[in-house]
Amino acid sequence: MITMYKFRWIIFLSIIFLNYSFLHTNYMFLKNNFHHLHLYKYETEYYDFYNKFKHPILSSSQNDTIKSKLIEKNKNSYLLFERNLDYITNTNKILSENNDSLVLGINQFADSVDFNENTNNDLMKYSINKNTIINNYGNTYLKPFKNPFSYMNKLIQQKQSHNWNNTEYLSPVKNQERCGSCWAFSTTSAIETFMRMNNYTVDRLSEQELVDCSIENNGCNGGIMHKAMDFVIEQKGLHSNGDYPYNGVDNNCTNLNNIEKITGSNITKYEFIIPKSPLDMMISVSKSPIALGLDANNFYFRFYKEGVIDVPSNFSQTLNHAVLLVGYDYDEKGFYWIIQNSWGESWGDKGFCKIRIKDNLDSEGALMCQVYGVYPTK
């Protein structure tokens, strides 16, 4: 009787122990993986993003543990990535429902650009207001057409467009990295194209020389393209990127007097344009690509992937980024600009972007890149 009693107790305690072990094991599993199950909804997307744009992960395994550990190690980076990807996904859904051609996508800025904080180091810290440009340089307006869009409708009927990317003159897409040197990149790309149009051979001019030595500008904190052109004229050209390589930080100006500058880079004149109508800019870009200013501190431009950006008027009035306008084309909704950016080929459509041309520059924001531009002429 006692033996049977003890045996029952042993069975009872064993069952309790086994249940406890089972419950404890599951508790620990849930505890260790709760964040994985409930918080990190973009683990795979972040893992792929990190591999492509940050540092390739050496481990060949792609299990959930490795992904969650990566997120734990880069928590702030992931949270910003998640917020941006949420917005990209929701925006693309709305654009698709409205049959809009614009598509946004993940790129190198997904975990670093926070529009809530407005601390984007790759843009020019010393941004320019549209009205400041007009007030200071308004006497350089080109003569406007009385009815530019009537003329543009004729262009559409004649199926006219222009794109320097379809020629052998345009420079490849470059990458300014985390330095606000866009003004230098748009300037050198405009000059390089001009040189090739005039039968000079050029690989790449030195953006770093402009960053370090153009004292009228502010290096990685920003600059203005016509002042960069002035520097090139005063210095009678630029050195090659090979002789003065780009490193994306502010340095003291290096004296390269013993090294010859690139033949043909010694421009002597440039055109400064503040358009009164889109047609002004269309006529100018048919002559040469234009280094121009626009507003890049918005979600549509920053995460542009493909299609045409078409935002409301008065979207922005600030110039904080420089690009190269390389042409224009049209679709069923009208004309659009084609620009080459300096954020590498992983941004946009292999480094390029399309922006809808609007019919009223006075009410239109700076994003439409129709505010201020320069290009070499001699």
Annotated active-site positions, please? 182, 321
What the block records as the tokens of 226 is 């016509």
Concatenated DSSP letters for 84-99?
A: HHHHHHHHHHHHHHTT
Closest CA to 226 of 270, 163, 259: 270
Question: Would you say 351 and 185 are in contact if contact means Cβ atoms under 8 Å apart?
Answer: no
Question: Would you say 278 and 140 are in contact if contact means Cβ atoms under 8 Å apart?
Answer: no
Amino acid identity of residue 57, one-letter, is: I
DSSP bridge pairs for 270: 376
Instruction: With H, G, I as helix, E, B as strand and everything else as coil, classify residue 308.
Output: strand
Cα distance between residue 163 and residue 309, in whole Å: 18
Closest CA to 222 of 296, 290, 289: 296
CB atoms within 10 A of CB 143: 8
Place of tokens 């064993």: 14
Cα distance between residue 188 and residue 64, in whole Å: 46
Task: Please list, in sequence order, all residues whose beta carbon lies within 8 angstroms of the beta carbon of residue 113, skipping any fewer than 6 positions away.
Answer: 80, 84, 120, 302
End-to-end CA distance of the chain: 113
Question: Would you say 315 and 130 are in contact if contact means Cβ atoms under 8 Å apart?
Answer: no
User: What region, left, alpha or beta, does residue 279 occupy, with left being phi > 0 and alpha being psi -120 to 50 degrees?
Assistant: alpha
Alpha-carbon dihedral 132, 356, 102, 367, rounded to 10 degrees:
0
Amino acid identity of residue 212, one-letter, is: D
Cα distance between residue 347 and residue 353, in whole Å: 9
Instruction: Give the Å distances, CA to CA, from 109 to 47, 178, 344.
Output: 15, 10, 12
